[in-house]
Structure 1
Amino acid sequence: MNREGLHRTVRVDEAMGTRVSVHVVVRDDAPPLLGLEVDDAIERALAGLHEADWRFTPFCEESEIRRIARGELSLDDAHPDVREVEQECRAALAATGGKFSAWWRGWFDPTGYVKGWAVDRAMDVHLAELLELDGVVAVGVGVGGDLRLRALPHSGWTWNVGIADPQVRGAVLATITLADGAVATSGSAERGAHIVDPRSGEPAVGVVSATVVADTLARADLWATTAVVSGADDLAWVRRAGTRSGLLVDAGGRTRRWAGATEVTLVDAGVASL
C-alpha cells in the first residue's frame, strides 16, 4: 500500500512491566474530529492494560494474584478476568503437555500468559472499533517487542515487522509482512535465561530466540515460550499449536522455520521472509 496521504498517531506508556506503544494509522483527509475518538480509544485501551497489570502482578502484595496465593481470596470470589485467565492457563498447560505452567512456582502466577491476553483484550474491546470509523486504516499495539496488529480489510495496508538477529546486534534475521495477527518472541537473547522449564524447574537455555506468528498475541506468546522450553530439536508441538509460522535460533546459531504445521528449509542465505 502507498504510505503517502497517511499519518500515524503513537502513544507510549509503561504497563505489564514493560513499555507499551499504541499505533493508529489515519488518512490525512480524515474528518477533523476523528482525533478525539482515536485519543479516547487509546486512553481506554491503556487503562485496561493498567487494570490488568494491577490485578495480575505478582510484584504487588495487594494484587488479586498475591491475595489468592496467600489464601486471602478464593478463585470463586476473584474478578471474572482472573477466573477467565485461570481457565485459559489450565487449557495451555494441557495443550503444551506441561511445557507451560502458571503453577510452576507452587502458586497461580499467570505472568507468562496474561500480557498477551491483556493486549488482545485491549485490541478487541477498545481499538478494533476504530477500524469502523472513516479515515482509520490500521491499529497496532506493541508490548515489550511483541505485537498485536489489525488493518482495515481490503485497504492494502500491511505492517512490516523485522525479527532481530539474536547473535548480531542491530541485524535483522527475517521480516514479516502482516495485515492482521500477532508476533511474539521469547528466549534468552535479550533478558538472559529467564524462561524456566516447569517440568524441571531449571532455566531453558537451548533456544536463544523463538518467534511465533499467530492469530492472537496470547497464542503467539504461549507457543513462543513453549518453543524455548521444547528446545531446537523438538518441533513436534507445531502440529497441534495452531500457529501461522515461526522461527527459532539455537545457541549454536542454527535456525529452524515452519509455516502452518510444516517445517520449511530456506536455500538462500541472508534476510528471509517469515
Structure 2
Amino acid sequence: MGARRPPRHVWVEEIMGMPVSVHVRSTRATPGPGTEQAVQDCFSELREIDRLFSTYRRDSDVSRIGRGELTVRDADPLIAVVESACRVAQEETHGLFSAHWRGTFDPTGYVKGWAVERTARRHLAALVEHEIAVGINAGGDLQLFTAADADWQWNVGIADPQRPGAATATLGIRDGAVATSGHAERGAHIIDPRSGRAAIGVASATVVADGLTQADVWATAAVVAGFDDRAWIATAGTRTGILLADDGRVARWLGPTQIDIVAAAA
C-alpha cells in the first residue's frame, strides 16, 4: 500500500465572480494554529480588491475611472500600482497584452492573477511553517506553496480541450503558479489588443511560473500570439508550459527552449 495522504482542509468562497478555494495539507486532523484566520484574511483582501477593480460593479474605482468620474491618481493607491504594472506587462509582451487597448483602463486580464498571488503571499505562504502545503485555486489558476522539508508535491492536471473531463498532461509542482487561458471553455473571449478582434488558433495555453501574475499574463499573451508564433517563449522567463491548438497540435517548452511539437492526429 502507498503512503497515507495527509489530511486536506478546504475553504471555498465565491469572489470575483468565480469559486476561489484554499487547500491545506496538514499533519493534523484539524488545521494548525492561525490557519483559519489566514484563510479568512486572504478571502477578505480578495473581496476588497474586487471592490476596487471589478468592471461589473458601478461603484468600483475602475468603473468610475472608465466613466471619467475618477482619475488613476485620485483612486485607491492600488489602482496606480496595477496600472503601472500593466504598462510594464504590455511592454514585456510587445503588445500581446494590454490593459489600455480600448482607450481606457481595463485591467481585467491582469488583476485576477495579481490579486491571487498578492493575497496568497501575504496571508498563506507562511502557513508552511506549520502545515505541509497550501495552495489557492481561483477559477483554475493556482498559486502553490510547500514546506521545504515536506515530501509533497501538487499534481496539476491540464484539461484536454478536445476531450471534456480528460487531462492531456499532469504537472508536478512544489512551489509556483499555474495559469491557463484559451477559448476551449468560454469561447473566443480573449481579444488581440493589436487588432481588436478575437484571438484564434489556441484552444488552451497553460503556463507555469514562479508567480501567478507572470503566469496569467503570459498565458493570455500565448493565446493572442497564436500557435505558430512562439518566439515569446525565449524571453518570457516562464518555467514550462503547453499550448494546445484548435487543430490538435501540441507544443511544449522548458524554460526558454521549445522541447517538442506534436502534430495533430491524422
Cα deviation, residue 105, structure 1: 2.2
User: Between the two proteins, what is the percent identity of the paired residues?
Assistant: 53
Look up the SS of the partner of 2:34 in the other structure: helix
CA contact (8 A) 1:5 1:27 kept: no
- Matched with 1:237 is 232
Matched AA of 2:95: G
Q: Does 1:97 align with 2:94?
A: yes
CA contact (8 A) 1:145 1:184 kept: yes
Whole-Å Cα distance in 2 between the matches of residues 250 and 198 of structure 1?
Answer: 20
Stretches of structure 1 that go unaligned for 5 or more consecutive residues are 270-274
> Structure 1 residues 137, 105: CA separation in 2 closer, same or farther (over 3 Å shift)?
same
Matched AA of 2:74: D
Whole-Å Cα distance in 1 between the matches of residues 121 and 222 of structure 2?
Answer: 26
CA contact (8 A) 1:131 1:151 kept: yes
1:211-226 aligned at under 5 Å gives the runs 211-226=206-221
Deviations 1:197-224 (A, max 9, x none): 0010000011000000000111111001
Whole-Å Cα distance in 2 between the matches of residues 3 and 199 of structure 1?
Answer: 52
- Matched with 1:15 is 15
- Matched with 1:196 is 191
Q: Does 1:261 align with 2:261?
A: no
Matched AA of 1:16: M
CA contact (8 A) 1:195 1:204 kept: yes
Look up the SS of the partner of 1:27 in the other structure: coil
Cα deviation, residue 129, structure 1: 1.7
> Structure 1 residues 226, 59: CA separation in 2 closer, same or farther (over 3 Å shift)?
same
Does 77-86 or 56-65 show the bigger shift? Answer: 77-86
Q: Does 1:128 align with 2:125?
A: yes
- Matched with 1:6 is 6
> Structure 1 residues 5, 243: CA separation in 2 closer, same or farther (over 3 Å shift)?
closer
Look up the SS of the partner of 1:76 in the other structure: coil
User: Structure 2 length as normaliser, TM-score?
Assistant: 0.95
State the Cα RMSD in Å. Answer: 1.8
Stretches of structure 2 that go unaligned for 5 or more consecutive residues are none
User: Structure 1 length as normaliser, TM-score?
Assistant: 0.92
Following superposition, which runs of at least 4 residues in structure 1 exceed 2 angstroms of deviation?
2-5
